[in-house]
Structure 1
């Protein structure tokens, strides 16, 4: 698996340490989508035309990080439980759309786990 980069709290890219960092990166991406979505809903027509393409890009980034989190191998039972709980919340709380390919990768990462 190639090296995956995530952003630290100051916005600097760094190598992902695993499931925990990828989940944190995804939460950050979801927050960006929500923030821009709120701005778009309140924007005038001219500003909305500027925000729209940026929102599309941020949504694509969120989908990429979500897929990386789904694909990330789990190192132990704790990470497996954390990852399962996180994706359960995503699906139940409506934070974002979890598509079938994400679920497939998520389940594959669980099957590949060796006790």
Structure 2
């Protein structure tokens, strides 16, 4: 959590419509131009251990990657700048079977890279 990163993929591929698995990212300091900033990670719990389905995971991500969590990470109740959007990386059935049960919540600017953290301290 709190890592800034670059990805070779288009950020718009990770919005509420879904996200590919096995994202490839390069961690960079937030002071350098970057595509996204991770602000939360959570594990998808499923009692029987079977893949719960993409739709169910997407609903969980929409709930757990919301504005309240972003505000807690940022340290302010102020809304995100209008140019930033919430995204998430989701496990797929294939990656789930390989042990990937985590969702990573992040923000990014669909128009391009940004510099600096969304945290109020800016680090």
Structures share a fold, TM > 0.5? no
More helix by share: 1
More strand by share: 2
- What's the TM-score, normalizing by structure 2? 0.27
Kindly name which structure, 1 or 2, has the bigger radius of gyration based on alpha carbons: 1
Relative contact order (C-alpha < 8 Å, sep 6+): which is higher? 2
